[in-house]
Chain A
């Protein structure tokens, strides 16, 4: 059971917009910024969004992040087949004094 709750799966067709939620609490998302990672099978995770809504260079602007209260969201617009991946949110939990990841969301492009 992860401290951060993500839907286990999400799906969309090419060109659609999908969102992935990440729900936490006042001790983690409520007081700290959120990063988002994506991971292809057999490879290391890669940074997608940092500080809630910032994109590293090289990440398409189809990807956007937001945070409100104790929840964060990742939105992917103009869905493409290569977006099929696992997505994870991450933040620091100040009460547990640990870094926490969401359980991960497997995105399928139909």
Chain B
């Protein structure tokens, strides 16, 4: 069974940093592009970033470029999102996901990040 489990969320002050992790199991992690998607309270889905199988290609939504960094460790079947210079508008549930535009899309349960003083 495919499982994606996010961790590392919580409350952080504006300007602070947080690192999210996603532990993957039940599929061949190293052969899949991986994504981060977020959802602000009461709002719709917003794609944040993705990373190629070997980490050689990464894409970001404009609002997080220069502040967020996506990375992966295929030996540990893990995906990461380093979030710096956090703003109130980054407050959201963050989902780890894969194959979002394919036939086998999978999502984690999500982790809440709250940016507030």
**Interface, chain A (partner B; CB < 8 A):** 2, 32-33, 35, 37, 39, 44-47, 50-51, 54, 56, 86, 88, 90-92, 96-104
Taking CB atoms, residues of chain B closer than 8 Å to A99 are 35, 47, 50, 59, 100-101
Taking CB atoms, residues of chain B closer than 8 Å to A100 are 47
Contact A104 B44 (CB under 8 A): yes
Question: How far does the alpha carbon of A98 sit from the alpha carbon of B45 in the complex, in Å?
Answer: 13
* Set A32, A39, A47, A104: member contacting B105, Cβ < 8 A: A47
Taking CB atoms, residues of chain A closer than 8 Å to B107 are 44-46
Taking CB atoms, residues of chain B closer than 8 Å to A39 are 45
Number of A-B contacts (CB under 8 A): 62
Contact B47 A44 (CB under 8 A): no
Contact B46 A32 (CB under 8 A): no
Selected A-B contacts with CB under 8 Å, 9 pairs: A35-B102, A44-B109, A47-B104, A50-B101, A50-B103, A90-B100, A98-B59, A99-B59, A101-B45
> Nearest 7 CB-CB pairs, A to B?
A104-B44, A44-B107, A99-B47, A47-B105, A101-B45, A50-B103, A103-B44
- B55 interface residue (CB < 8 Å to A): no
Contact B110 A44 (CB under 8 A): yes
Residue of A nearest to B46 (CB): A101
- Name 5 extra pairs, CB < 8 A, besides A35-B101, A99-B100: A47-B103, A91-B101, A98-B59, A98-B60, A104-B44
Contact B105 A88 (CB under 8 A): no
Taking CB atoms, residues of chain B closer than 8 Å to A47 are 103-105
Question: How far does the alpha carbon of A99 sit from the alpha carbon of B33 in the complex, in Å?
Answer: 12
Residue of A nearest to B35 (CB): A99
* Set B45, B59, B101: member contacting A88, Cβ < 8 A: B45
- B9 interface residue (CB < 8 Å to A): no
User: Nearest chain A CB to B83's CB is how many angstroms away?
Assistant: 18
Taking CB atoms, residues of chain A closer than 8 Å to B59 are 97-99
Question: How far does the alpha carbon of A2 sit from the alpha carbon of B44 in the complex, in Å?
Answer: 9
Taking CB atoms, residues of chain A closer than 8 Å to B50 are 99
Contact A45 B103 (CB under 8 A): no
Question: How far does the alpha carbon of A40 sit from the alpha carbon of B59 in the complex, in Å?
Answer: 28
